[in-house]
Structure 1
Amino acid sequence: MTMLDNNEPESEPAPAADPAPEPDPTANTTASEKIAADAAAAQEADSARRGSVGTVFYWSVAFVIVFVLWAAISPDSLGDIMTTAMTAVSSSFGWIYLVVPFAAIVMLVWFAASRFGRIRLGSADSRPEYTTLTWLAMILAAVMGIGLVSYGVAEPMSHFMVPPHGLAEPQTMDAAIRAMQFSYLDWGFQAWAIFGVFGLAIGYSTHRKGRPALVSTMLRPVLGRFVDGWVGKFIDILTIIATLFGTTTSLGLGASQIGEGLNTVFGIDATIVLQIVVIGVLTLLFTTSAFSGVSRGIKYISQITLTMATILGLFVFITGPSGFVANLFVRSVGSFAGNFLELSFMTPSSAADSEWMLSWTYFMMAWWLSWSAFVGIFLAKISKGRTIREFVAGVLLVPSAVFFVWFTIMGGSAIKLDIDGAKIGEATQANLDTAFFSLLDQLPLSLLASVFTIVMVTLFFVSSADSNTFVLSSLSSRGSFEPRRPVIATWGFLTGACA
């Protein structure tokens, strides 16, 4: 933080911020007044830049179009090359996917506990734009909502059937506890720490220092004036590409879940054609929502989806094996806490282990890293006025706790029902997309619950894609938090195409 304060160039143009009164030039100004003056200058600079696009936008769009055409014309060759690349990276540098997230946790905890925890992301007198509940709802729904359904049953059940690293006998109580431990690892503190580091850095750079909401300008204390040239543009282009491909992975999973839901409820085959139709319709919805901005479309959809997820979670807990789930939660959380360091640094010990890590832990951590810029910018946008301590608690602790509870309710219920003979494990091994609906089939009001889930996933899809489109538009509009509609429409279309 000290380095950032001491190295900020006074002439640096900056993004939009809430207007503040200019201090009297004849009076002695306090640090708070200086920050307010910088924010006012940032508002004026961003107004002049708003909607302006340059080489970053055109190069990014061109690359994505070529990539989508390649995927459409020769999907097999694309799949082979991407698989080879991922395997090569994970086999040589897979340990980085374990070290970086843990380092992010340490960094955030230190910032929150230190004297820097009192610093606000904005001027000293700024206050949050959203209530705490709304803020948390936007984080949960707009960032990782689809994963609640895509993996809420599929991951714990997969680990229950085939315990990670051979640490337990399949389909035993020990396997159930191990299944929850590794689900917590993949979706808990590590993931949110990655998001939190980016969100904190971008939020401080944007709201406190008056810089554009770009990863390149966030790195100015490290790279200096290089960020003003081709190096900065290359970083921003790479950020856009990683963001788009990382987030559309989730959207593709969402389309698969909606397809499986329609198959369950209406008997419609979950074909590729159906998924394309679903994505086409939803692309129109989330692009329209993105036009309304964060404060309207994303905010209200996030509140609705959080409420629906809460209702569904309570329904499964109450109608399912609640006693087993409660016991599993206590044992799994305690075991996870006791083995946290070991789990965080557990590398593969065999070829089979490496293959498992590539399919799960390495894949998940790489996925979260690809999300980091997107989530970081979104968190920065909605967290203005909060202290660093509030930010860390809200981003690192609360979502992790929510996901622990969700995965235990959904995964634990499925495990217990499978032990009792429901065959959910076999269905999961055959097709991960069927796991969640296989659980609902074993509960009362299964048809109503399946329809409810389809609606919830649809809204999660719209919320996530809405946030993604906004962030991509901001990144390609020189960091403006108010990109223009043609830019939003372009990224909305490309997001749908990639999904």
Structure 2
Amino acid sequence: MKNTRPIVLFLPMAIFILAAVASLIDVQGFLAFAKSLNNWILDNFGTLIYLAVFGFVLTCFAVLFSPIGKVKIGGHDAEPILTRWQWFSITLCTTIAIGILFWAMAEPIYHLYQPGGRDILPGSPGASQFSLVSLFMHWSLSPYAIYTVAGLAFALSFHNFGKPFSVSGPLSILFGRDLPKLVSSLLDAAILLALVLGMAGSLGAGMLLLSGGVANLTPLSSGPFLLALVAGAIGIVVLISSISGLLKGIRFLSGINTVFFFAFVAFIFIFGPTQKILLQGGGAFLDYTASFIPRSLFIGEAASDKEWARDWTIFYYANWLAWAPVTAMFLGRIAVGYTVRAFVLVNLFLPALFSIIWMSVFGVFAMETDMANEGILKQALDITGPESVTFVALEALPFSQLVIPLLLLLSFVSYVTAADSNTTAISDICQKLESGEKSAILSRNLKIIWIGLLAFMAWVMVAFSGIDGVRMLSNVGGLPALFIVIGLQLALLRMAFSSKILRSLQNKILK
């Protein structure tokens, strides 16, 4: 492996393995350490996280309407490697993973009965509206702005400026000189560790959802054996997809997955409480737009329940940040041939709009199902956890015996698609990849290593230690990622508004 970057490959791998081993040796001690570290970060850096994410949203709009919006990623003669549909579907599936399937019905039930704010009565219409607005805050414009800023900074530095396939590429534009190789390697190792911890947590959540669904449909009971089968199946399919050729497997899976997403949301909309979805979703969207600035800045009524904000909004933003740098490198790499404005449209506005529609449909359906059945989803949440809420809710719909297996398939393909995209980025960042190369020399071997390690570690954590420790560590990874993304934001702003840099791009503007 002479072409690998040893620090980037082995440092996060060693820390990742040590964390899993520590959790096996002393589960309670490991979880206590992770929780205390996580709480310290949320308590001391929560305000900065709020302000930074709001700043990312403003940056996206500033770039959208600046002269750099016309710049073509890769230069004037660059040709896209993806159609617009492929680009959108890959972007959507890469960024949402299994999150909206796992949380779309569970999170609104949490907020319905434990809303933030002093004057909101649990179970009331006000709590229902608060729940939907919170879903929009956690899953739409703000988190996608994180990905867009980081992805666009990397896309321009890699394709237009010929910088290395590293987070140090955009930062070198910010500082006006290349960063030392050691600093570059340490930065990439940090963001890689944050991502693999986040992926392990997401895979663990997916394993719980899938094993719960399989146990619901078959005589198999949810336990280590079933979880191992699920982890193995995911790992094998991700491996087959990822080594099938650059973007070939991702294009295929993303296309299928996106069609499933649209079909599933249409089914719930038609057979669920259609009128209430329209009325409550529309009302919540108006409330979201009206309260976006105070909730983003954590002022006024939005600041009335700091504990709720820490446990939910800041917690979510930290998790999105942990995923952002490496995921953004993949998003930036596939955007060649399109303009900066098209990048903002496909990476910010379209996924955010899809998420708002999805959360409106599933959130209203879940809350209406719960209130019409004497709190049945709240009972499921309290007794068996969030992984059971979706299946209990779907049993209230026609064709549930068909819909539930299809949801399991969608969950499976959804995580495989996101894992495929991110393992591609992981394999690229672990090796000496120059900007002119079309593919990574060691991609297949590195993907095999990381996919196997992720599947095994996620299984160990879920089957024997629980997933809480890894999920908290993924949020711990959000702290260094926060400062890295802020650096990428400043680099993007310098590219957008430095007259010297803009002049160097004049021959790359789409005319």
Contact 2:13 2:193 in 1 (8 A): no
Measured after TM superposition, the shift of residue 179 of structure 1 is 0.5
Question: Following superposition of structure 1 onto structure 2, how do residues 126-165 of structure 1 map, counting pairs within 5 Å?
Answer: 126-165=78-117
**Any idea what SS the aligned residue of 2:98 has?**
helix
Matching residue within 250, 257, 280 for 1:328 = 280
Q: Secondary structure at the match of 2:179?
A: helix
Q: Offset of 1:147 from its aligned partner?
A: 1.1
Is contact 1:348–1:357 with CA below 8 Å preserved after alignment? no
Q: Write out aligned runs for 1:183-194 (5 A).
A: 183-194=135-146
Aligned to 1:492: 451
- Of the structure 1 ranges 293-302 and 274-283, higher mean CA displacement relative to structure 2 is found in 274-283
Note the 1:59-208 alignment, pairs <5 A: 59-208=11-160
- Which of 288-297 and 408-417 deviates more? 288-297
Report the equivalent of 2:412: 458
For the 8 Å contact 1:293–1:470, the answer to whether it is kept is: no
Instruction: Give the structure 2 partner of residue 474 of structure 1.
Output: 428
Letter of the structure 2 residue corresponding to residue 410 of structure 1: F
Q: Distance in 1 between matches of 2:27 and 2:73?
A: 44
Give the Cα separation in 1 of the matches to 2:176 and 2:449. Answer: 32
Cα offset, 1:347, TM superposition: 6.5
How far the C-alpha of 1:319 sits from its partner, in A, is 0.9
Q: Secondary structure at the match of 1:126?
A: coil
Q: For the Cα contact (< 8 Å) 1:186–1:365, is it kept in 2?
A: yes
Residues 72-98 of structure 1: per-residue CA shift (max 9 Å, x gap): 333322211111001011111111121
Query: Partner letter of residue 471 of structure 1?
Result: A
Take 1:270 and 1:354, find their aligned partners in 2: how far apart are those partners? 36
Distance 1:465 1:92 in 2: 31
Distance 1:82 1:194 in 2: 24
Map of 1:434 onto structure 2: 388
CA–CA distance in 1 between the matches of 2:33 and 2:294?
A: 33
Q: CA RMSD in A?
A: 2.2
How far did 1:437 drift? 1.0
Q: Please list every run of 5 or more consecutive structure 2 residues that lacks an aligned counterpart in the other structure.
A: 459-511
| 1:95 aligned counterpart, secondary structure | helix
Where structure 1 has 5 or more consecutive residues not aligned to the other structure, the ranges are 1-48
Sort the Cα spacing of 1:267 and 1:347 in 2 relative to 1 into closer, same or farther, 3 A: farther
Residue 367 of structure 2 corresponds to which residue in structure 1?
Answer: 415
**1:473/1:483 contact within 8 Å kept:** no
- CA–CA distance in 1 between the matches of 2:311 and 2:148? 24
The answer as to whether partners of 1:145 and 1:464 remain within 8 angstroms in 2 is yes
In the alignment, residue 381 of structure 2 is paired with which amino acid?
T
Partner SS state of residue 360, structure 1 = helix
Contact 2:70 2:340 in 1 (8 A): yes
Q: Secondary structure at the match of 1:339?
A: helix
CA–CA distance in 2 between the matches of 1:417 and 1:60?
44
Which one-letter code corresponds to 1:444 in the other structure?
A: P
Q: Give 1:452 shift.
A: 0.3
Greater shift in the superposed pair: 356-365 or 264-273:
264-273
Instruction: Letter of the 2:432 partner, please give it.
Output: R
1:231 Cα deviation after fit: 1.6
Higher gyration radius (CA): 1
2:164 — aligned with what?
Answer: 212
* Number of aligned residue pairs: 451
Question: CA 1:293–1:167 in 2, change beyond 3 Å: closer, same or farther?
Answer: farther
Q: Work out whether residues 287 and 469 of structure 1, in 8 Å CA contact, stay in contact via their aligned partners in 2.
A: no
Cα 1:151–1:250 shift into 2, 3 Å: same
Quick one: structure 1 residues 347 and 83, their matched pair in 2 at CA, closer, same or farther if it must change by over 3 Å? Answer: farther
Contact 1:160 1:415 in 2 (8 A): yes
**Displacement of 1:167 after TM fit?**
4.6
Mapping for residues 350-365 of structure 1, pairs under 5 Å = 353-365=305-317
Percent identical residues: 24
Q: CA deviation at 1:358?
A: 3.3
Q: Is the 8 Å Cα contact of residues 157 and 173 (structure 2) preserved in structure 1?
A: no
CA change 1:383–1:270 in 2 (3 A) is same
Deviation at 1:410, TM superposition (A): 0.8
Which residue identity lines up with residue 440 of structure 2 in the other structure?
E
Q: Is the 8 A contact 1:227 1:233 kept in 2?
A: no
* Farther off after superposition, 429-438 or 480-489: 480-489
CA 1:295/1:372 → structure 2, altered by over 3 Å: closer, same or farther?
Answer: same
- SS of the residue corresponding to residue 75 of structure 2 reads coil
Moved more, 150-159 or 59-68: 59-68
Highest relative contact order (Cα 8 Å, sep 6+), 1 or 2? 2
Find the aligned partners of 1:213 and 1:198 in 2 and give their Cα distance.
Answer: 13
State how far apart, in whole Å, the 2-side matches of 1:107 and 1:367 are: 20
- Secondary structure of the residue aligned to 1:80 is helix
* Among 384, 388, 398, the residue aligned to 1:444: 398
Q: Does 1:425 align with 2:383?
A: no
Contact kept? 2:5, 2:185, Cα under 8 Å: no
Query: Which has the larger displacement, 220-229 or 127-136?
Result: 220-229
Distance between the aligned counterparts of 1:445 and 1:288, measured in 2? 32
How does the TM-score come out when normalised to structure 1? 0.86
